[in-house]
Every structure is written in C-alpha cells, then in structure tokens.
Amino acid sequence: MSTTDASLTAAQAAAVDHRDGPLLVLAGPGSGKTRVVTRRLARLVESGVRPRSLLAITFTNKAADEMQRRVAQLMPGARVWVSTFHRFCARLLREHAAMVGLQPNFTILDAGDQRQALRQILRDEDLDPVAFGAEKIGYRISAAKNDLIDADTYRRRYEEQSADHWQAAVVRVYPAYQRWLLASNAVDFDDLLLHTAVLLAENDELRSQLDERYRYIIVDEYQDTNRAQYQIVSALSQIHRNLCVTGDPDQSIYGWRGARIENILRFEGDYPDARVVRLEENFRSTQSIVRSADRLIGHNRKRKAKRLVTDNPEGEPVSLLCFRNEGHEAEGLAQRMQQLADAGRDWSDFAVFMRVNALSRQVERALMRRRIPHQVAAGAAFFDRAEVKDLIAYLRLLENPADRAAFSRIVNTPARNLGETSQRRLLRWANEQGLTPLEAAARAKEVPKLSKRSVAAFRAFAEMMAEFSLADAGAVAALVTRIINRTGYVRQWEGSPNEKDLERLENVKELVTAASEYDEAAGDERSLSGFLEQTALVNETDSLDTSRGQVTLMTLHAAKGLEYPVVFVLGVEQGLIPHERAIRDGSAEELEEERRLLFVGMTRAREQLFLTQTVERVLRGRTLPTIPSPFISELECTPEYVETSAPAPVWSSVPTLAANGDRSARDDHSPRPLLMTGAELLRGGTSQAELPRGFALGSQVRHPRYGVGTVVDIGGFGQRRTVTVTFRDDARTEKFVASQSPLQPVGH
DNA sequence: CAGGCCGTGCTTTTT
DNA sequence: GCACGGCCTG
C-alpha cells in the first residue's frame, strides 16, 4: 500500500487531521489504519508537539517496529517512540520499582519458569501437582491479574467460599506465588501490567506527572486490551484527553487472554465527546475476498455494524479445496504453490495460516520435499530452547542474584553433582536467612546437613559466577562466550555426530550472534537488563523475514496485521475452526471469536484466498472423519475436490509403515464426485492399512534408534498390525505397532 | 546422584 | 507425535 498524501480518503483525512480530544478510529481490515496512525503522528510532530510527549502503544513488537519505521520514513530524524504495552510497562517499572516492592533489576519470568515455580508451590502447599496442573492454576492466576485482581483481593474474595476446588487451590497458591516472585525479584508477563496499573492507581503524583508528560496517546488494536491495560491507558489520559484508540471489534481474537472487547465498544460512552471515524473502504483485497469475509462476519451478533467495501477488481473466487486427508492437503498446497510460482509468483507471496501450531508439520514436510523455501512462526521459539534458556539463565542470575528460577536452572547445569536434595537444603536455608541463592551458595559451609562435596560444589559455583561481569567482558556477546568457555557448557555436545547435538551447538552459536546484534544496536547503552528484556519480550514472529522469498506458516492469531497476495487457511473444519474447545464451552461469545479469527485470516489475502478442509484427519494419533466448519456455509466460496498424487515419502522420518500403508490404499485412481462427505469417502476407500511389501517375515528393516534388524514375527490386522523385529547390533527384540512405528524397509 | 529409558497424557491461540 | 515425569539402574 504505497500511497501519496493526495490519495487519503475523506475518512482517513478526518482521522489524520484530528488534533485534540478523544478519537476513536474504527478500522476494518485493509483500510489503511497504520497509514492513518503514522500520518497522524507525523502531523502532530509537524505541528510542534514534541516527540517525547507522544506515546504510541501497540500490541506486538512487530506492529511497534513497523509503525516506528513508517513514522521515520515520513519524518526522517524525528524519533517517535512506539512501544508495546509490556515494554512500556517494563520500562516504567524499572524506574519506579521500589514503589511496588521490586528492585530495578527485576527479572521477567518466562512461561516455563512460571510453571516450574507453580509446581514447586503446589508441592509446598501440599496440593497434588498432578490433580492441579500448574498450567491451569497459572491460567487462573493470569486471568485474575488481567482483571486487576491481586493476590490479596483474590484471597479475601474467595477464601470463605470458593466456587470450586480449583478456586480454593488458587486462593492458596496465588499469594504464595506472589511471595515467591517478590523473593526472586521477578515478575511475570501479567505482573508488568498489573504492577503498573496499581502503581498508577495508588500514586497520584506519579500518575499526574506521566499524564502530563504524555500529551498525546495512541493505542492500536484497542479491541484487544484487557482491564489492566484499559486502566493504564485511562490513568494516563485524565489531564490531556488526547487519547486516540484504533481498532476493529471484528478482529478481537484475544478474549481467551482477558481482552475485553467492551473496551472499544464502550469508548464513546467513556468519552462522550469522542470523535468517531470509520474506515470501511478496503484497499487490500479483491471484491470476492472482501465480499466473502464480510458475509462471514455478518453472522456475528455482538458487533458494531460496519460494512466492508472495496473498489478493487473482482478477482478470482474464494476457493475451498477439499482433500482426502492432511497428507494430501499438505501435498496439494505445495503443488498449488508450485504451479502459482511457475506462473510467476514469488515464494514470499504465500502464507499458510492454521488454527493450531500442530497442523504445520505436514505442510512443512511437503514444502521440504519440494524444496520450497519456507519459514514457520511457531511456538517452539528460539528463546524457548533448553540450551538457550540455560545460557540466558546465567545472565539472569548475574543481573539479578535473587532470581531463584535462574539459579535452579543452572546451578547443576552442566552437571556439578548437585542433586535435588542439596539444592533444596540450600534454598531453604537461603530463604530462612533472607539471602539470595548465590549468597547462600558462597556460604554453603553454613548450610546444615550439606555433604562436603556439595559444599565445595556450591562454593565453586558461586566463585565462578563472581568472575563474570559485563564490565569486564565489555559486551554481552563476549560475556556469553566467557560463560560458555568457563562452564564448559557445550563440551557435552562437541564432536557428537548426533543431529540434535549439532542443532544445540547451532543454537548456542545463534545466541552469541543475537547478543552481538544487541551489542551493536544498543551501542554504549548496552546492558544485561536491556538484552534480557529483549529476550523476554520478543518472540519468533517478530523476526519473520518478509523479504527473502520464503513461504510463511503461522497461526491465525499471529497473522493479524499482516497481508499476503496468496493466503491458504488450513483445516476449516468443525473442531478446528471453530476450535473444539469453543464449541464444548457452548458460549456464543467464544463461537463469535472463532468466527472473527477466520475473518482475520481471510482478510489477510490480497489476491487469492484458499480455504482447505479434509475428509479425515489424524488428531491425537487417531484418524477421524471430519465435519466441515459451519462457517463454510456462511461465506462465499467455490468448492473443489482435489485428488493429489500420494504424498511421497518424507526424508526426515523416511517412509514409515503408516505412510506406505496409506499409499497402497490410495493408489486406485477411481474418479470421485466433486464433494463427498467423510462417510462416503471412507466407505469408498480402503481404511485398513495393508502391510506393505518389504515387511514380510524375514525382511530387513531399519529403526532410527536400534538400527537394522530382521522381521521375526507379524501379528494383528490393519491398524493394529504388529511386527516383531530382532535387531542386529545388540540382538534385542522389539514388537511394534506397524502403523505407528518409524520402521523403514532396507534394500528393495 | 545422574543419566537413560519407558510409559503416560495431552494439544488453542501469546505478550 | 510429543514432552515430560517417573522409575530404574549404574
């Protein structure tokens, strides 16, 4: 969307030209919202507002970077600070940490640490960590924090009478968890918002000082704000009511995370003098895409009526591709992309969206087989890898010696013969003495009941940690390198032929690279806390490469705010979109959110939009017939049953018995009607996986772990078929369920 | 006490 | 298919 000033529509111009007072910009997808916001920022600066009086807040890092980049483009030189909510709050809290009981060097905990901590607390509270999953407890605590309910309030509200035993458990765990956080001088994601909201609510002097400083505030994606964020924003817009919020209720997809769609719906009630601008013209997509998406979203009841129109050409109809199963689906997508690429499309023109990350694997494999370059914006982020987290934990502990999560993570990594018992004794003593874990380690001699060996190991650890400092190393990358060398962290993997170990070494290298990049970007400003904050608040999606000719795979949630010429939305089926969980809960609200999610996905497409569904799909290891998503009948699309050639063997897990069995069942090329129900297709096909040739009694097979062996027995039928194999190397004999084993034929 | 192996249980979405 | 926890062994 490159446009010149003159091309602003009347509505866009109204938003850009608005200066003082509250402003609500309701912006449909592709309506040029970012352009309006950046132009408005530029306009304000031009008219004499100092950039530091502006506060622009987005939801994601990517959106923040994009906005910053575009403002810089409009006005080279002017530095307007665009930040995410979490980053803004982190910065504010570092400045005023003491007011909420923290020190400025507090750690931002990741989800893994949080889970670990909750697990420990559950044990301490004599609650069964199996019956009460740490994750679910954490989810409830998070929900409370997003609704501005702190631990004390929660306890007071529910300790007398809890709605259920989960709530009763949270009554005990939540306050203990907050004590643990405080003792660790740490916060979780939600605390960043909650602490800030509390800080502003309880300290009017600070509140009005900040309110005064930020004369103009812009909040993007306002429909995704939760109560805490709402309160923060309104606390800063009392004196100067120049609050501009933009968003689209139809793209609210974070209700599950505490987002309150009401925040945007009631903006006009909160600010009766608000100017409302509607951006309803879509400049992104073809007529057929816009029409289809508009019809879909029209089925939502709880919304602000808004039309979505475009002057763009009609384009090709939205296409619904139906496949036999997820293997064919993946193969079909890859084939379709290949065709379109042959006709001139660039790989970076394509995006594949799915409801859940788990669906990406098949597509990745299909793309790999065809050597189609691609990237995945997936949950398994770089900073989630164990080896990366370990090294980061060293940095965290250096920055914040109270960081119990970091200490526990690395005190025995690499192994220093410090077992769980010794660690528990040390930590208990540290708590009693009011010491940080690191101080306690240095004084391990005083800890009761520690073995001599453990005392020595703890002290050696403490002494080693004392040797590290950013000042000495000069740069974060140098410090990380020192830590790697001094601890011998990578020694365990060096020289290993194991692919996983190689990958670990790669990741460690990549971390050093990331640190150098930070060092370079931050210059003299570089600090451990700066680097750590970045690693804590940045995710994989933020680093997606848009330029380098690659197909992009991501979840529907991650897709918001992006656009691609050709979009595939995977698995538009009952149970996926809408997700099983939204259906099970049976609430109309959740179903509408699922509809919005599909709406968001569809409206990312500029020229071509493909929705896909399969007849059967493997879910949790079981093959089940699928039901088309009810949303399909609410939109406009042209169905097409696609018969792909069988997916070729995968190179990574090589041909499995299951894959081979599938293929033999599928090789008949009988014509199929355009649309079939799952049942029809199942009836027509051979659902029983036959044992393929090459796995007869006495044939040679290879197992990735056990090596080559001989089939000595065969039993069972169909999916339950088993093979018993005696392996050559250690003469062990193993029985496998054929359709689920990673065995592959040798020879033949 | 550490490491490896095996079985179980689960799987939405993310700052 | 996966990761994690638990169990067992060395």
Residue A27 (CA) to nucleotide C6 (C1'), in angstroms, measures: 53
Nucleotide at minimal C1' distance from the A361 CA: C1
Positive or negative CA dihedral for A97, A103, A107, A109? negative
Identify which has the larger pLDDT, A620 or A426: A426
**A133/A157: higher pLDDT:** A157
User: Which pLDDT score is estimated for A659?
Assistant: 30
State whether residue A508 is helix, strand or coil: helix
User: For A359-381, what is the mean pLDDT?
Assistant: 81
Residue A722 confidence class, pLDDT cut points 50, 70, 90:
low
Q: Which residue has the tokens 């004390």?
A: A152
Which helix (H) or strand (E) segment is A726 a member of? strand A722-727
Q: What angle do CA A328, A333, A337 make, to 5 degrees?
A: 145
Look at A387-396, A404-413, A574-583, A620-629 and tell me which has the smallest mean pLDDT.
A620-629
Cβ-contact A183, A433 below 8 angstroms: no
Token pair recorded at residue A156: 């007071």
As to burial, measured by CB atoms within 10 angstroms (0-12 exposed, 13-18 middle, 19+ buried), residue A641 is middle
Which nucleotides in chain C lie closer than 7 A to a protein CB?
1-3, 5-6
What is the Cα–Cα distance from A632 to A595, expressed in whole angstroms? 10
Is A221 tagged catalytic?
Answer: yes
Name the nt closest to A618 by C-alpha to C1'. Answer: C1
Across chain A, how many H-helices and E-strands are there? Answer: 29, 22
Residue nearest to nucleotide C5 (CA to C1'): A130
Instruction: Given the residues A284, A604, A666, A702, select the one marked as catalytic.
Output: A604
Single-letter residue type at A313: P
Show the beta-strand stretches assigned E in A644-718.
700-703, 707-715
For the ranges A54-68, A160-174, A655-669, the lowest mean pLDDT is seen at: A655-669
pLDDT of residue A495: 73
Which member of A150, A211, A220, A329 is catalytic?
A: A220
Find and give the residue nearest to B12, measured CA to C1'.
A356
Query: A163 to each of A144, A407, A669, how far by Cα in Å?
Result: 14, 37, 58
Question: In 10 A of CB A124, how many CB atoms?
Answer: 12
A604 is catalytic: yes
| Maximal C-alpha separation, chain A | 85
Give the nucleotide with minimal C1' distance to the Cα of A253: B13
Protein CA A517 to sugar C1' B15 (Å): 22
Give the HSE-up count for residue A222: Cα atoms under 13 Å, Cβ half-sphere. 29
Q: Phi and psi (nearest 5°) for A361?
A: -55, -50
Cβ atoms within 10 Å, residue A20: 11
What pLDDT shows up at residue A696?
A: 60
- Stretch A571-596: mean pLDDT: 87
Check pLDDT > 60 for residue A580: yes
As a rounded value in angstroms, the CA-to-C1' distance for A343 and B14 is 37
pLDDT for the residue A685: 29
The answer for residues whose C-beta is within 8 angstroms of residue A59's C-beta and 6 or more apart is: A84, A85, A220, A221, A224
Residues in chain A: 748
Provide the token pair at A408.
């526990």
Percentage above 90 pLDDT, chain A: 45
**pLDDT (0 to 100) of residue A116:** 83
Distance A131 CA to C6 C1' (A): 16
Task: Yes or no: say if A141 and A173 are a contact pair by the CB < 8 Å rule.
Answer: yes
pLDDT of A227 over the 70 cut: yes
Q: How confident is the model at residue A547 (pLDDT cuts 50, 70, 90)?
A: low
Q: How many Å from the CA of A110 to C1' of C6?
A: 25
Please check whether residue A351 is in contact with residue A567, taking contact to mean a CB–CB distance below 8 angstroms.
yes
Q: What is the mean pLDDT of residues A235-249?
A: 93
Task: Round and report the angstrom distance from CA (A457) to C1' (B2).
Answer: 15
Bigger pLDDT: A30 vs A666: A30
Residue A649 pLDDT > 90: no
Which nucleotide is closest to the Cα of A378 by its C1'? B14
Nucleotides of B under 7 A from a protein CB: 1-3, 10-15
The CA–C1' separation of A380 and C3, in angstroms, is: 12
| pLDDT tens string A444-464 | 999 888 888 889 889 999 999
Ramachandran angles phi, psi of A639, nearest 5°: -75, 150
Catalytic residue among A12, A38, A251, A423: A251
Active-site residue, from A110, A221, A533, A662: A221
Which one has a higher pLDDT value, A552 or A413?
Answer: A552
A43 and A66 Cβ atoms separated by less than 8 Å: no
- Those residues whose beta carbons lie under 7 A from strand B are A 59-61, 84-87, 111, 133, 135, 189-190, 253, 256-257, 355-358, 379, 412, 415-422, 451, 454, 537, 539, 541-542, 554-555, 557-558, 579, 581-582, 620-621
How confident is the model over A425-438, as a mean pLDDT? Answer: 90
Nucleotide nearest to A139 (CA to C1'): B14
- Closest listed residue to residue A17, CA positions, set A1, A40, A33: A40
Using the predicted structure, report yes or no on whether residue A594 has a pLDDT greater than 50. Answer: yes
Q: What is the pLDDT of residues A114-155, one digit of tens each?
A: 888 888 888 888 777 777 778 888 888 999 999 999 999 999
pLDDT at A730: 57
Does the annotation mark A220 as catalytic? yes
- pLDDT tens digits, A471-527: 888 899 999 999 999 988 888 777 766 667 777 788 888 889 889 999 998 889 899
Sign of the alpha-carbon torsion through A699, A703, A709, A710: negative
| Helix spans in A204-254 (H) | 204-213, 227-235
- pLDDT given for residue A738 in this prediction: 55
Q: Which of A448-457, A559-568, A701-710 has the highest mean pLDDT?
A: A559-568
CA of A358: nucleotide with nearest C1': B11
Query: What integer pLDDT is reported at residue A494 of this predicted model?
Result: 77
> Per residue in A248-272, pLDDT tens?
999 999 988 888 888 988 899 999 9
In chain A, what percentage of residues exceed pLDDT 70?
Answer: 83
Give dist(CA A576, CA A356) in Å, integer.
Answer: 8
A706 CA to C8 C1' in angstroms comes to: 20
Order of strands across the sheet with A319-323? Answer: A374-377, A551-555, A350-354, A564-569, A605-614, A319-323, A638-641
- pLDDT at residue A3 tops 90: no
> What does the block give as tokens for A693?
């040739």
In the predicted structure, residue A675 carries a pLDDT above the cut 50: no
- For chain A, the C-alpha Rg in angstroms (whole number) is 28
Q: Which of A294, A362, A331, A364 is nearest to A599 (CA)?
A: A294
By the 8 A CB rule, do A555 and A357 touch?
Answer: yes
CA distance readout (Å), A405 to A145, A370, A378:
21, 43, 25
A270-281 pLDDT tens trace: 999 999 999 999
Give A160-197 pLDDT, tens digit per residue.
Answer: 887 778 888 889 899 999 999 999 999 999 999 999 99
Check pLDDT > 60 for residue A638.
yes
| CA dihedral over A38, A44, A47, A53, signed as positive or negative | negative
Assigned token pair, A152: 């004390």
Taking CA atoms, A456 is separated from A422, A434, A491, in Å, by 12, 22, 22
Residue A377: pLDDT above 90?
Answer: no
Instruction: List CB-based contacts (under 7 A) with strand C.
Output: A 119, 129-130, 361, 380, 620-621, 653, 656, 742
**Averaged pLDDT score across all residues of chain A:** 83
Q: Which residue lies nearest C1, CA-to-C1' measured?
A: A621
The Cα A664–Cα A598 span in angstroms is 35
Residue bearing the bigger pLDDT, A712 or A408: A408
Which residues make Cβ contacts (< 8 Å) with residue A668, sequence separation at least 6?
none
d(CA A534, CA A521): 12
CA-CA distances (angstroms) from residue A717 to A190, A242, A620, A660, A736?
52, 71, 21, 15, 13
CA distances from A236 to A199, A200, A211, A214, A424 (A): 12, 8, 4, 7, 44
